């Protein structure tokens, strides 16, 4: 038995080395045939002796786990997005801001390729991959660990000395070859094709069957060590350490000592990107020194020490056939250009947004014009110019419509706003559908069983015309409803059968447990997003307090400005909206904070905290941060003279520790913090 165990250990070690050489170093040291022979030997041994299966065995990458619903997990620290620049002048302005903030002219930047994929956070406990979390909304994402384990370039176990808790962040991508094979298979099976590798990677990571994910042959590059290590003071050194731990880190990154070197890197890769086996859409600049990063800190959305330079989008010319208009849930009317089909950045483009009447006026578009189209951020097609040399002398200008294209109501335009609106909010079909679709969306009430065209059919059949009508639906209202519609040039059928109807009714019933802040977001008050809904819920604690608040009282809430405050007051002055709230209350929706959500105390009121280092698990660190907020304290993103306490765990970064000591800020342990709260 001991010999079998040793053989299994040796096979796992050998096969993992070959996997690393092939998928990370791109230097295979064994033929596929020889690899398959050894792998089959390992599979046979593991079948006979399942007790000897190792967690990092390559057999654990083939998938087989079925995930019906992905759980959510909060990030240890927010996964922020990067600010974008598009020209040298904007990069020079960024460099000037960095140097002014640091009061120095000597700054090193690390230049990296900006991968066009899906951001991911990998959590390792005791060297073993424990969790893989998507970026989500930056605060929390989906747990997709089983699917990520199928990606052969991501280590399941880390060799060597590793902190007990390690977090690494990076990007999951789909290489061009995998993308081409996948779309060829889908075309052969009559399925719709993915528009680009990024969409394909995102869709693959959300598949319920990890066996199918394994077939997609995804890849990944790591670009950030989230865990602070005492002996690493720069981002560049952190990436070298990740390489030692056998993570796949881009070989193309470069340490630049001046902005001129940065420009050279950008110019080089603007050309070389065309020959890469995967998509990039720009270059990322990061201040190399961690102490400098901490000194610069973050805004609410982005780090001040990093920025993305986006490559100029590909541009093509095509013919403008017509302009049609779409009405959104707020009544905003958006003009859409219908184009002669043209290939752009690997996709077929037939439509492009014209945004609003001002943009149409600036472009001065005429019927039959030859227009130039780009993809904004490589995703959304937009018209950027008109080829006047191709314009017919008899071409007529296209002017913005004066009446709603759906209900024929005269459009209005509010002072200071670019959009025209249809004011017929209660009877305009797209507005009704839009409000309902927003209400049932995942970040709101999460009634996912009502997607895929079902709302359209229910509105057309007049089964629901207001959001509160959802809670009056009965099985007999739904069973037997059916409609065919065309999407992506293919006919689909929406059919309400017994099982579908039961799922819908269950989803509606379950939505009654959704928290107050999400209900507040779901009812669709203009300008009230997820974050502002959360802050309003925490401040007023129930809908009655919010409904009675004045503009000035609303503006006392953090991040609630005059525009949002006025919109809230106007919403609750509308009797129709008040009827909706009353009806939803009577149907059992949550319009106040539950005991778990209610702040525990105001003991930490006026105090600010930074939680840094490891505390045994990512969950414990988040628990400490939640405890700060639930007791009236405020979390900061960096150490500064505004900080009251630094809560220090194991492996806290020396930069934060030294800066706190330098500023005379109290550094306390987890136990000392708990004592502070209990007092």
- Residues labelled as active-site residues: 114
DSSP 592: B
Query: Do 613 and 166 touch, CB atoms closer than 8 A?
Result: no
Q: Which helix (H) or strand (E) holds 439?
A: helix 429-440
Q: Which of 137, 152, 147 is nearest to 75 (CA)?
A: 137
DSSP 493: E
Strand partners, 353: 336, 382
DSSP 466: S
* Segment 225-228 long-range contacts (CB within 8 Å, at least 24 positions apart): 225/167, 225/168, 226/76, 226/77, 226/121, 226/167, 226/168, 226/169, 227/163, 227/165, 227/166, 227/167, 227/168, 227/614, 227/651, 228/612, 228/613, 228/651, 228/652, 228/653, 228/656
Concatenated DSSP letters for 17-64? HHHHHHHTS----S-HHHHHHHHHHHHHHHHH-GGG--TT-GGGGS--
Three-state SS string across 613-665, please?
A: CECCCHHHHHHHHHHHHHCCCEECCCCCCCCCEEEECECCCHHHHHHHHHHCC
Beta pairing, strands 332-344 & 118-125: unpaired
Distance (Å, whole) CA 24 – CA 248: 5
3 state DSSP class of 483:
strand
Strand partners, 287: 109
Report the alpha-carbon angle 243-63-2, nearest 5: 75
CA distances for 459 relative to 302, 471, 480, 509, angstroms: 40, 14, 15, 20
- Residue 621's φ and ψ, nearest 5 degrees, are -60, -40
Distance (Å, whole) CA 617 – CA 619: 5
- In 78-166, where does DSSP find H-type helix? 88-102, 145-148
Distance in Å from the first CA to the final CA of the chain: 58
Distance (Å, whole) CA 494 – CA 83: 41
Distance (Å, whole) CA 678 – CA 356: 56
Three-state SS string across 386-401, please?
A: ECHHHCCCCCCECCCC
CB-based burial of residue 37 (10 Å sphere; 0-12 exposed, 13-18 middle, 19+ buried)? exposed
CB 375: neighbour CB atoms within 10 A?
21
Distance (Å, whole) CA 369 – CA 395: 8
CA distances for 570 relative to 46, 271, 444, 548, angstroms: 67, 53, 21, 12
Q: Which of 465, 449, 453, 23 is nearest to 221 (CA)?
A: 23
């Amino acid at each position: 038995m001991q010999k079998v165990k040793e053989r299994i250990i040796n096979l796992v070690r050998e096969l993992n080395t070959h996997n690393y050489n092939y998928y990370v170093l791109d230097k295979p040291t064994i033929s596929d045939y020889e690899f398959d022979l050894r792998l089959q030997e390992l599979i046979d041994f593991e079948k006979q002796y399942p007790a000897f299966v190792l967690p990092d065995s390559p057999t654990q990458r083939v998938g087989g786990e079925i995930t019906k619903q992905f759980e959510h997990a909060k990030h240890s620290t927010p996964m922020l997005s990067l600010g974008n620049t598009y020209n040298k002048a904007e990069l020079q302005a960024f460099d000037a801001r960095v140097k002014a903030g640091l009061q120095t002219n000597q700054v090193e930047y690390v230049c990296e390729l900006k991968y066009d994929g899906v951001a991911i956070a990998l959590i390792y406990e005791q060297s073993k991959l424990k969790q893989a979390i998507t970026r989500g909304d930056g605060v929390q994402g989906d747990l997709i660990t089983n699917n990520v384990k199928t990606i052969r370039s991501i280590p399941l176990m880390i060799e060597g000395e590793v902190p007990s808790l390690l977090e690494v962040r990076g990007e999951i991508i789909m290489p061009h070859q995998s993308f081409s094979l996948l779309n060829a298979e889908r075309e052969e099976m009559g399925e719709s094709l993915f528009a680009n590798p990024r969409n394909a990677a995102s869709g693959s990571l959300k598949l319920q069957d990890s066996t199918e994910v394994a077939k997609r042959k995804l890849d990944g590059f790591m670009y950030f060590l989230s865990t602070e290590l005492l002996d690493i003071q720069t981002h560049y050194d952190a990436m070298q350490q990740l390489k030692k731990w056998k993570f796949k880190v881009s070989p193309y990154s470069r340490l630049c000592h001046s902005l001129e070197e940065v420009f050279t890197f950008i110019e080089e890769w603007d050309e070389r990107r065309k020959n890469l086996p995967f998509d990039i859409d720009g270059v990322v600049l990061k201040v190399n020194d961690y102490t400098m990063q901490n000194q610069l800190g973050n805004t609410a959305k982005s780090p001040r020490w990093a920025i993305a330079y986006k490559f100029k989008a590909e541009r093509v010319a095509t013919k403008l056939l017509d302009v049609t208009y779409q009405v959104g849930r707020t009544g905003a009317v958006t003009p859409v250009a219908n184009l002669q089909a043209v290939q752009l950045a690997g996709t077929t483009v037939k439509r492009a947004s014209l945004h609003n009447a001002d943009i149409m006026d600036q472009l001065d578009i005429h019927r039959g014009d030859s227009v130039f189209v780009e993809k904004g951020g490589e995703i959304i097609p937009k018209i950027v110019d008109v080829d006047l040399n191709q314009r017919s002398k008899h071409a007529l200008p296209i002017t913005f419509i004066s009446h709603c294209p759906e209900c024929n109501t005269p459009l209005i335009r509010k002072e200071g706003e670019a959009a025209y609106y249809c004011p017929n909010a209660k009877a305009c079909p797209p507005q009704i559908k839009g409000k309902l679709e927003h209400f049932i969306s995942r970040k709101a009430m999460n009634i996912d069983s009502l997607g895929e065209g079902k709302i359209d059919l229910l509105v057309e059949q007049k089964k629901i015309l207001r959001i509160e009508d959802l809670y009056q639906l009965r099985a007999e209202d739904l069973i037997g409803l059916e409609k065919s519609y065309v999407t992506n040039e293919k006919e689909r059928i929406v059919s309400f059968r017994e099982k579908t109807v039961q799922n819908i009714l269950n989803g509606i019933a379950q939505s009654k447990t959704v928290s107050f802040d999400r209900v507040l977001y779901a009812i669709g008050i203009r300008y009230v997003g997820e974050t502002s809904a959360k802050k309003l819920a925490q401040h007023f604690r129930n809908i009655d307090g919010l409904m009675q608040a004045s503009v000035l009282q609303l503006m006392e809430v953090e991040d609630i400005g005059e525009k949002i405050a006025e919109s809230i007051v106007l919403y609750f002055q509308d009797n129709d909206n008040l009827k909706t709230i009353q009806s939803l209350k009577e149907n059992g929706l949550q319009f106040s904070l539950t005991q778990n959500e209610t702040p525990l105390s105001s003991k930490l009121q006026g105090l600010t905290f930074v939680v840094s280092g490891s505390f045994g698990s990512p969950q414990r660190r988040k628990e400490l941060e939640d405890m700060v907020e639930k007791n009236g304290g405020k979390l900061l993103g960096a150490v500064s003279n505004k900080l009251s306490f630094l809560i220090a765990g194991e492996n806290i970064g020396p930069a934060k520790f030294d800066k706190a000591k330098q500023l005379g800020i109290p550094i306390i342990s987890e136990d000392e913090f708990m004592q502070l709260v209990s007092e």
